Structure 1
Amino acid sequence: MTLSVKLPFYAKLAFILVSLISFAFIFCIGKDIITPVLLAFLFAVLLVPIFTFLHTKFKFPRHLAAASCILLFALVIVGILAFISYQVSDIASDFDAIKKNANSFITDIHKFIKDNFHVSIGEQKKYLDNVTKDSVQNGKATIGSAILSITDLLLDCTIIPIYTFLFLLYKDHFILFLAKLINKEDHVVLKDILAQIKASINNYILGLIFEMFVVSVLTSLGLWIIGIKYFILLGLITGILNMIPYIGILIAGIITVVASLTGTPETSIILGILIVNVVVQLIDNNILVPLIINSKVEINAFVSIIGIIIGGAAAGISGMFLAIPLLAILKIIFERIESLEPWGYLMGNHMPKRFVWRTRKIKVEN
């Protein structure tokens, strides 16, 4: 005989908050281990259709099908990196021109500040020297952090493909494990949750890739119009970095400005680059993101921004990238559990046209 216990609202709320805080705490202290696993899970979900196709249509053994998926994914990444490396080597050959034009550009800035703010060039250089001294004092710590970051990146590049391979290989094993955790009468709900998670993650990642492609094309076109030499490379870099919320486009803009110094130090070119980036971002934020990203995961902007900020604080760039998919997964789970359904509604982007209070019940009119 199964006994059901009905808890008051404040007890349910306390249990939910304690659970979320516990998960967040575990993620923070184990982010170096959990983050690669979550990234591998996302990549595995994206590769599942290819894995299934090779395994069922071509009768590949599971090991060979999983290895083929990883190899194909790696070849795509290596191809993009090879193209970027080839183009970067061309930019490096123009280092002398960049240095010359950068000095000329800095001189123009000094003159502009002197003429408009009445600060002598000597005072400006003195201030820069003081800032440089402070930076040099922290140089060792910065170099040490950079070395650790590069080491972590290389480790992740090694371990993530292995995790992805294992997720694909043991896909059915993990599903059976989840089925054993719950009652048989709830298997239909579990199947629906897994199907929705798979569809949501696939749509999100494919939408993100399409957004990257469109941003790259638009940025390349804009840079070509204003006469930037390496417009294809810089457009591709902008599209890739745009996948990093908030800071990605800023880094891409700095790289583009530096690369533009291979040709000319004119301020008009720098202004043109800023205008191109602003226009592309307006198109991205007002058209591409609502149409491609938000429509796929159905997470409202308020929850998305908070999730990205929390993810960035917890695990840096990887946490920011993982925030939206994890929120989408939580929303799908919440919507299919009766006691958590209000939280799923809170995370969604459904907006009623009018909210009407009634004495005995709440009525929402669409």
Structure 2
Amino acid sequence: MKEELSKLLKWVLLLIAIPAGLYLGKTFLAPLAIGAVLALMLIPVMDWFISRKISKGFSVALSTLILLLFFIFLGGLLFVQVKVIAKDWPEIEKQSGQYLEKAQRFVEEKSGLNPDQQLDKVKNVISKLGSSGPAALGSVGSVFANFILVIVYVVLLLSQRDRFVAFILRHFPEQEHFRVRKAMKEIRKTSGGYFFGMLKAMMILAILYGAGFLIGGVKYAFLLALIAAVFSFIPYVGNVVGGGLAAVLALVSGGPSSVLIVAIVMTAAQMIDNYVTQPYVVGKEVDLNPFMTITSVIAFGILWGIPGAIIAIPVTGILRVLFEYLPKTKSLAFVMGNEKPEKFLLKKEPEDAGKNA
């Protein structure tokens, strides 16, 4: 009895200590985890360069450069589209003013506050938020600093890759090395497969959104499609945020009809994404059931915010692989995965079995 209580207490302490440690150490752990996942994704690219007789140092540099070029490409697309909007800004500003007047009249009818009183309340809110301006600038600086830190981690992890592999192998007897290497290979496949799958899903969504917006005659179709598709990288929440931003921009640039088209196109594209792209392009790469997928995104989102939500699924997929290869945690891997439970369920005996005996 005491042994059972001791085991239960250990599990309770672990369930408390691990989330607390992750939350308290997020400033250090979140960039490191993102860097580790990205490094795992780039290992096949690095191996391809090495197989072409390129030195290890240059292979690391070229792999990291590809990652940077991807981020620069996304930033460049957004910059080009924002420049297009800037040309039409006076018209957008005029349209926004008309909607603001309508909103003020609506508020006045419902609350009795005239436009001047509404403006005073808005000024009060802005003045309260003003004190957070330096913090906002600090957060922008923090994001940039963390981005640089992530890239540094990627370079270091790739360059020291053999050392980390040797470190892991030293903890297992030689006869287990083949099995350990197989597990590490599956972890790399899970991490890289998820991100490449998400990139494919993002491209498919961008094409579907862009085509739908163009056919519907929505202004800034490519920008709206890009915004909505990029935010889809954040599971579940990203689609809502990206769709909201696209709808607001469509409203001030084209009116209610554009918002309706955006809503219809995004709903149709999301159905394709939910029932085709995610299960067959992304889901098979991590082998997680829907419960674990949603739970991991919520948990890591609470602990680490947006970065946590982005890497929640690949990290949980990596944990599932680890649990699968450790004998005492195979049941946890089963709970997290997609393996069908029917073969483990006990078959009920017929009720009249005893009578016939």
Q: TM-score range by the shorter chain?
A: 0.7 to 0.9
1:143 matched residue in structure 2: 133
CA distance in 2, matches of 1:323, 1:21: 19
Sort the Cα spacing of 1:146 and 1:235 in 2 relative to 1 into closer, same or farther, 3 A: same
Tell me whether 1:242 sits opposite 2:232 in the alignment: yes
CA distance in 2, matches of 1:232, 1:97: 19
Cα shift at 1:242: 0.7
Partner of 2:333: 344
Task: State the SS of the aligned residue for 1:37.
Answer: helix
Q: State the partner residue of 2:164.
A: 174
**Residue 148 (structure 1) shift:** 2.2
Hey, what does 1:72 align to over in structure 2?
A: 66
How far, CA to CA, are the matches of 1:124 and 1:345 in structure 2? 61
Q: Give me the whole-angstrom Cα distance separating, in 1, the residues matched to 2:110 and 2:300.
A: 44
Equivalent residue, structure 1, for 2:98: 104
From 149, 166, 184, the equivalent of 1:159 is 149
Are 1:44 and 2:39 counterparts? yes
What is the DSSP-based 3-state SS (H/G/I as helix, E as strand, rest coil) of the residue aligned with 1:123? Answer: coil
Cα distance between partner residues in 1 of 2:298 and 2:252 = 36
On the 8 A contact 1:98/1:262 being kept in 2, the answer is yes
Q: Which amino acid aligns with 1:100?
A: K
- 2:55 equivalent in structure 1: 61
Q: Residues 292-331 of structure 1: matches in 2 within 5 Å?
A: 292-331=281-320
Match of 1:27 in 2: 22
1:218 match? 208
Structure 1 residues 334, 120: CA separation in 2 closer, same or farther (over 3 Å shift)? closer
Partner residue of 2:245 out of 255, 259, 280: 255
Question: Could you tell me how far 1:201 is from its partner in structure 2?
Answer: 1.0
TM-fit CA distance, 1:77 = 1.8
Q: How many residues align?
A: 347
C-alpha distance in 2, partners of 1:193/1:17? Answer: 28
With normalisation by structure 2, the TM-score equals 0.88
Structure 1 residue runs of 5 or longer lacking an equivalent are 1-6, 360-366
Question: Which stretch of the first structure deviates more once superposed, 222-231 or 10-19?
Answer: 10-19
Query: How has the CA–CA distance of structure 1 residues 98 and 352 changed in structure 2, closer, same or farther, with 3 Å as cutoff?
Result: same
Distance across 1 between alignment mates of 2:117 and 2:320? 51
- Once residues 10 and 301 of structure 1 are traced to their aligned partners in structure 2, the CA distance between those partners, rounded to angstroms, is 32
Q: Which moved more, 1:203-212 or 1:136-145?
A: 136-145
Give the superposed CA RMSD.
2.6
Question: Deviations 1:239-269 (Å, cap 9, x if unpaired)?
Answer: 111111233223322332343256433x222
Equivalent in the alignment of 1:287: 276
| Structure 2 segments unaligned to the other structure (5+ residues) | 350-357
Does the aligned pair in 2 maintain the 1:95–1:262 contact within 8 Å? no
Separation in structure 2 between the aligned mates of residue 297 and residue 16 of structure 1, nearest angstrom: 26
AA of the residue aligned to 1:157? F
- Confirm or deny: 8 A CA contact 1:36 1:159 kept in the other structure: yes
Q: In the aligned structure 2, how far is the partner of 1:93 from the partner of 1:341?
A: 59
Instruction: Spell out, residue by residue over 1:258-311, the C-alpha distance to the aligned partner (whole angstroms, 9 max, x if none).
Output: 43256433x222222222222222222222212222221111111111111111
Q: Could you tell me which residue of structure 2 aligns to residue 4 of structure 1?
A: none
Amino acid at match of 2:70: V
Mark the CA change 1:124 to 1:87 in structure 2 (over 3 Å): closer, same or farther.
same
Distance in 2 between the 1:219 and 1:274 partners? 10
Opposite residue 200 of structure 2, the aligned amino acid is F
Taking the aligned partners of 1:326 and 1:99, their CA distance within structure 2 comes to 44
SS at match of 1:324: helix
Percent identity of the aligned residues? Answer: 24
The amino acid across from 2:316 in the alignment is L
3-state DSSP of counterpart to 1:98:
helix
The answer to whether the Cα contact below 8 Å between 2:251 and 2:258 also exists between their aligned partners in 1 is: no
Q: Secondary structure at the match of 2:54?
A: coil
| Cα deviation 1:324-365 (Å, max 9, x = unaligned) | 111111111111222111111111122335843569xxxxxx
**Pairwise mapping of residues 105-144 of structure 1 onto structure 2 (< 5 A)?**
105-108=99-102, 113=106, 119=109, 123=113, 125=115, 128-129=118-119, 132-144=122-134
Q: 1:210 to 1:120 in 2, by over 3 A?
A: same
Q: What CA distance in whole angstroms lies between the structure 1 residues aligned with 2:324 and 2:8?
A: 16
Q: Using the alignment, how far apart are the partners of 2:131 and 2:315 within structure 1?
A: 33
